[in-house]
Amino acid sequence: MNLDALATPAVLIDRARAQRNLDRMQAAANARGVRLRPHTKTHKSPIVARWQLDRGAIGVCCAKLGEAEVFAHAGIPDIRLPYPLNPANAGRVVALLDRTHLSFIVDHPGVAAQWSDAMVRAGRQVDVLVKVDVGFHRCGIDPAAAGAVAMIAGVAALPGLRLRGLLAHAGHAYHAHSEDELRRIAEGEAATLRDLVARARAAGVAIDEVSAGATPPARFSLQQDGFTEYRPGNYVYFDRTQVSLGAATLDDCALTVMARVVSKPVPDRIILDAGSKTLTNDGARGFTPAPGYGIILRDGQPDHTLLIERLSEEHATVKVTTGSTPLEPGDLVRIVPNHSCVVSNLVDQAWLVDGDRVEALPIAARGRIT
Amino acid sequence: MNLDALATPAVLIDRARAQRNLDRMQAAANARGVRLRPHTKTHKSPIVARWQLDRGAIGVCCAKLGEAEVFAHAGIPDIRLPYPLNPANAGRVVALLDRTHLSFIVDHPGVAAQWSDAMVRAGRQVDVLVKVDVGFHRCGIDPAAAGAVAMIAGVAALPGLRLRGLLAHAGHAYHAHSEDELRRIAEGEAATLRDLVARARAAGVAIDEVSAGATPPARFSLQQDGFTEYRPGNYVYFDRTQVSLGAATLDDCALTVMARVVSKPVPDRIILDAGSKTLTNDGARGFTPAPGYGIILRDGQPDHTLLIERLSEEHATVKVTTGSTPLEPGDLVRIVPNHSCVVSNLVDQAWLVDGDRVEALPIAARGRIT
């Protein structure tokens, strides 16, 4: 099928760029002897997960059990959920253990004890890692708390659970204001984990795995010592935020939204048929966050005179900052979104692009929120 | 099925509240002799559309052809798209004309001429309305422009198109800061349309329909003269923004997200399993926009000590402003979202709730972006 035959808006994936992004990250991990376990949140596609495994990834991550069910069904043999699963879902976990090598995180003694009970009742064992808060202040135990090592030792002692090690996510890297701050975040995370690993081992707890992962600080994190595993997600497609965080160039961005001009009420305003139902209202982040809801490309080049100043659900209202544009209703543009992960989650299907040829890419794990 | 057996997060629709909301708006329209044509953007469900038709609605609105295809397939006999369809989609429009009474808007002479050509080639006629910009500055002709009446007359003269009248959307009502401003927006829209209708008729153009519609100003708009049709959408479920705009009370909000506490790393922070993949990052709007990503209900009552201060894709990070909460991992809460339309668009299925009993409500037109 040809690109210009697609109904718009359409989510396009440049296959060559995506695969080049995968090659580079795998090479960077290999160079440091760190195992790569990509997070699937960005592509939600077993097809793309296969590209990652074929290049050397040791498995994947999902956030939710519903996603893991899709990837396990597609034959992905090793799935980690860096998510604090609740034991209300024990039945689904037990079912998944028959289909894939599943592991997940715990960060709460009471929840860990409930998981232990559930696994003992089911006659099963499951791999877990203790989540450590390295500064994002979302989930995770406080590594500086008096009880941190005792909590880890407590999990290690629970029947039904096999403690594999520690896991962290430096999500605060998305809020860094400079290259230096990103480097300090990466160094701080590594130092925190090395220290906690040493204290846990000194207390007699075996720590085999130390897992971290986020795309923005990856270039710094992969220079640190102490990690056994890295879990970037966004790096497969990148987006405007990653460019602004120095993690990619615009030419690395593999996901674009092809949209059509549908109205031009006045010379300095055009309306595109992609709204928040395709791009979401996620703002751009980065060292110097840019206004608007994405970068508009014309013939592959950014047109900085076009500012997506407002999204309705099905409309992008674009201000032409120079007062006029040759674009007319019917014309096609492409948009590099602020955040590519959320775009994947909005469509049942994206399109893999090779030149002018396109091929459907089902987003099989889209919308699996439970 | 019972409510507490649902996997979380789950989108719940209180059937009694939703139907009461429909009853009230239908009664308000009937009282003024205005035809009600609800926008389906909020529910995206032919089942709910039937509730609306059964109460007297004369048809529905969709934004995109893909949505109209779903509703037409479900037997909805009259569908209007208040969206500037591009003639690239002429084949789909022609196919829909065999299945439903379809109409849409035009706001550009060149696009209208292309539609005329396409319809003449297909040997068909289609109903259109000219979109008028009443202050939102998205789509629509400028009613004050010198060529406004000539544009309308030009559309009326095109073969293949049957001009039905004028259509407006006061989307700027969402940005009103007070009850007075909302009233002025409603009065301004009505006055603008009455004036343009009079000028068009004076130029010999037949204007049979004058359509407006938006939930926030509905209580004022339905007091104005000159409208033949009103097209509210959000009123079926309402949300936190509508409460803040005075269009509803919290007890009218029929859509909530049931979420589970999955982590409590410190006493003043809990993590819920509903993130931007369920709630979106849409902020609250209204006269005094509140911070955070929704209102948390415990046992049906708002708990204002719980602030959803950040959403990740699968996590809500909740600050406990009083320092501690009895909520523990495993506990369930409900969230009234900032914006209910975008929540419907994120799930394949919501749940209709009657007391503790639930029943699946498929969101059949979810994600139909083209």
DSSP A39-98: BGGGT--HHHHHHHHHTT---EE-SSHHHHHHHHHTT--EEEE-S---GGGHHHHHHHHT
* CA–CA gap between residue B249 and residue B237 (Å, rounded): 11
Q: Tell me: the pLDDT tens digits for A93-104?
A: 999 999 999 999
**Where in chain A do CATH 2.40.37.20 domains reside?**
3-9+248-362
pLDDT digits (tens, 9 = 90+) for A102-120: 999 999 999 999 999 999 9
DSSP state for residue A235 in the 8-state scheme: G
Mean pLDDT of A169-180: 97
Q: How far, in Å, CA of B328 to CA of B298, rounded?
A: 13
Q: For chain B, how many residues are written?
A: 370
pLDDT of the residue at B1: 83
**High-pLDDT (> 70) share of chain A, %:** 100
CB nearest A281 (choices: B8, B265, B281): B281
Question: What's the confidence (pLDDT) of residue B306?
Answer: 98
User: Could you give the angle at the alpha carbon of B97 between the alpha carbons of B92 and B98, nearest 5°?
Assistant: 105
* Angle at A338 (CA atoms; ends B367, A350), nearest 5 degrees: 40
Q: What percent of chain A has pLDDT over 90?
A: 98
Chain center to CA of B93:
22
Question: For residue A123, with 0-12 CB atoms within 10 Å meaning exposed, 13-18 middle and 19 or more buried, which class applies?
Answer: exposed
At B105, the amino acid letter reads I
pLDDT, chain A, mean: 97
The rounded distance, in Å, linking the Cα atoms of B32 and B30 is: 5
Residue B256 in tokens:
């909530």
Quote the CA–CA distance of B239 and B337 in Å, as a whole number: 6
DSSP 3-state of B220: helix
| Interface mutation target, options B115, B263, B271, B333, chain A, most CBs of A under 10 Å | B263
pLDDT at residue number A1: 83
| Chain A neighbors of B83, CB-CB under 8 A | 262, 314
Residues from chain B contacting residue A328 (CB–CB below 8 Å): 110
**Pairing mode, strands A101-106 and A126-132:** parallel
Which chain B residues contact residue A348 at CB under 8 A?
367
Q: Does B266 touch chain A (CB under 8 A)?
A: yes
Q: What is the pLDDT of residue A94?
A: 98
Residues of chain A contacting B111 with CB distance shorter than 8 Å? 263, 329-330
How are beta strands A349-354 and A357-362 bridged, if at all? antiparallel
Looking at chain B, which residues constitute the CATH 3.20.20.10 domain(s)? Answer: 16-236
CB contact B9 to A (< 8 Å): yes
Is there a contact between A199 and A235 (Cβ–Cβ < 8 Å)? no
Answer whether B267's CB lies under 8 Å from B324's CB: yes
With CB atoms and an 8 Å threshold, state whether A329 touches B171: no
What pLDDT digit, counting tens, does each position of A66-91 carry? Answer: 999 999 999 999 999 999 999 999 99
Judged by a CB distance cut-off of 8 A, whether residue A41 touches chain B is yes
Question: Looking at the complex, does the CB of residue B315 fall below 8 Å from at least one CB of chain A?
Answer: yes
Asked if B280 is an interface residue toward chain A (Cβ–Cβ < 8 A), one would say: yes
Contact A329 B108 (CB under 8 A): yes
Q: Is the pLDDT of residue A4 over 90?
A: no
Nearest to A363, CA basis, from A278, A272, A245, A251: A278
- Which residues are within 8 A (CB) of A170 and not within 5 positions of it... i.e. 6 or more apart? A134, A135, A136, A185, A186, A189, A212, A214, A217, A221
CA A102 to chain centre: 19
Q: Token pair 């995968």 is at which residue?
A: A22
Most B CBs within 10 Å, among A280, A333, A369, A370, to test the B interface: A369
- pLDDT score recorded for residue A115: 98
Is A289's pLDDT higher than 90? no
Q: What is the pLDDT of residues A26-65, one digit of tens each?
A: 999 999 999 999 999 999 999 999 999 999 999 999 999 9
Which of B83, B262, B270, B328 would you mutate first to test chain A, the one with the most A CBs within 10 A?
A: B262
Cβ atoms of B212 and B186 within 8 Å: the answer is no
Q: Are A350 and A313 in contact (CB under 8 A)?
A: no
Contacts for A121 with CB less than 8 Å, ≥ 6 apart: none
> Helices A90-97 and A65-73, interaxial angle, to 10°?
20
Task: Supply the DSSP symbol for A341.
Answer: H
Judge: B369–A277 Cβ closer than 8 Å, yes or no. yes
Q: Residue A88: which of B41, B114, B260 has the nearest Cβ?
A: B260
- Is 90 exceeded by the pLDDT of residue A150? yes
Q: Which residues pair with B351 in a beta bridge?
A: B12, B360
pLDDT tens column, A292-317: 999 999 999 999 999 999 999 999 99
Contact B336, B297 (CB under 8 A): yes
Q: CB within 8 A of B312, min separation 6: which ones?
A: A138, A171, B275, B276
Under-50 pLDDT residues of chain B: none
Domain with CATH 3.20.20.10 in chain A: 15-236
Say what the ipTM of the complex is: 0.96
Q: What is the 3-state secondary structure (H, E, C) of B182-203?
A: HHHHHHHHHHHHHHHHHHHHHC
Q: How far apart are CA A75 and CA A94, in angstroms?
A: 17
CATH code for residues B16-236: 3.20.20.10
The pLDDT > 70 percentage for chain B reads 100
A227 pLDDT tier (thresholds 50, 70, 90): very high
Asked whether the beta carbons of A325 and A305 are under 8 A apart, the reply is yes
Superfamily covering domain A3-9+248-362: D-serine dehydratase-like domain (2.40.37.20)
Task: Mention the CATH class of domain A15-236.
Answer: alpha beta
Q: Do A142 and B263 touch (CB under 8 A)?
A: no
**Does A345 sit within 8 Å of B367, measured CB to CB?**
no
If we measure between CA atoms, which residue out of B213, B221, B313, B219 comes closest to residue B273? B313
Partner B contacted by A111 (CB < 8 A): yes
Among A252, A258, A267, A268, CA closest to A219:
A252
Query: CA A67: distance to chain centroid?
Result: 13
Residue A321, pLDDT above cutoff 90:
yes
- The answer to whether B130 and B94 are in contact (CB under 8 A) is no
> Smallest Cα–Cα separation from B41: which of B367, B341, B247?
B341
pLDDT for residue A204: 98
Q: Give pLDDT, residue B148.
A: 98
The per-residue pLDDT for range A247-268, each reduced to its tens digit, is: 999 999 999 999 999 999 999 9
Looking from the CA of A129 toward its CB, the CA atoms found within 13 Å total: 28
Rounded Cα distance, B277 and A42, in Å: 12
- Cα B197 to chain centroid distance, Å, stands at 26
